Amino acid sequence: MNQLTIETHRHPLSEPVIETFDLTKNFGRLVAVDHVNLSIREGEIFGLLGPNGAGKTTTLSMLATLLKPTDGTAKVNGHDILRNSDAVRRSIGIVFQDPSSDDILTGRENLYLHALMYGVENSVRELRIREVLRLVDLEDRANGQVKTYSGGMRRRLELARGLLHRPKILFLDEPTLGLDPQTREHIWQYIRRLVDQERVTIIITTHYMDEAEHLCDRVAIIDDGKIVALDTPERLKQIIGGDIVRLRIRNPRLSPIKELAYVVKVEQTDGFVLLTVKDSSVHLQEILSLVGNVDSVELRTPTLNDVFLHYTGHEIREAEAEGGFFERTARARSNRK
């Protein structure tokens, strides 16, 4: 029965729970979010993927009514974020990048406070606190002060807190930022469990490619405040049109390679040749015989990183090295004159 309901919940025709209409936010001259139009369906895990400063958190903050848009608007659970911000706030949960639990209080006390602030009924309060604690496996440590928790436990407490008042939508801002790989996998499991057991719609922001790929049903790639692509991770990767073959080679003969019908794209960087190849396992032999003396070959299926590169012309990591949001703000300011 469960399985069936989950399927209908993820049915592509189900009503959108979030719709944005040319949502825009400027900070001075910097356009942080630029006319974004999104439609997010009930019961999906929706990812906003982009480098730091791309506008993910700003978008989230506007949907959560923490920031007022400069232009455009959005509907969250049928409520307009400008006209009906109270109703929006009541129907959503949000988990911030930084921990928002009080260190000195216990996990249970933090949940109790949240239940009071969000008007969780007295009669179900205790029950609900126990439920969410069980959901994130924190029952044993619920009476310990939060300052004794590990990073992963804190994040799980935040997830529990976000869910306490049974929101229809849960916003997670970089839910696994700064956690080690093993803990991140755990958090993903918990997030999936929330969707299956609580039937919430989840919107996450992330700059981790693997997180978007493994966790999200659909991913919107956002760069410089604009949505550049939006689809399931599978279909986004199909856009690349083949596998990636990376050759380490000194003097490649590229002209015969470019003739081949199954080679979609050829790129050359210092010492490396990057090919996008259809049915690469069948054709690898022929490529190798034509291109010349190869030092090494690497064959892989495309990742969202390749998709990001395809659409934006740069990698997520490069964008980060260029600086995040504050650097962009600073640059926009110094350009003002």
From residue 136 to residue 155, what is the string marking binding to another protein with x (rule CB under 8 A)?
---------x----------
Residues in contact with another protein, total (CB under 8 A)? 26
- Identify the residue among 6, 73, 77, 113 touching another protein (CB under 8 A): 113
Q: At what angle do helices 181-198 and 2-9 cross, to 10 degrees?
A: 100
Q: Which is nearer to another protein, 68 or 253 (CB)?
A: 68
Helix H or strand E encompassing 161: helix 151-163
Cβ atoms 210, 203 nearer than 8 A: no
Q: Which is nearer to another protein, 99 or 256 (CB)?
A: 99
Stretch that binds another protein, among 62-70, 239-247, 288-296, 314-322 (CB under 8 A): 62-70
Cβ atoms 36, 227 nearer than 8 A: yes
Other C-beta atoms lying within 10 Å of the C-beta of residue 173: 20
Smallest gap from residue 33 Cβ to another protein (A): 17
98 forms part of the interface with another protein (CB under 8 A): yes
Task: Please state whether beta strands 294-300 and 30-36 pair in parallel, antiparallel, or not at all (unpaired).
Answer: unpaired
Cβ atoms 42, 201 nearer than 8 A: yes
123 forms part of the interface with another protein (CB under 8 A): no
| DSSP code string of 128-145 | HHHHHHHHTT-TTTTTSB
96 forms part of the interface with another protein (CB under 8 A): yes
Stretch that binds another protein, among 41-49, 113-121, 210-218, 304-312 (CB under 8 A): 113-121
Contact residues for another protein (CB under 8 A)?
Answer: 64-66, 86, 89-90, 94, 96-102, 104-105, 109, 112-114, 116-119, 145, 161
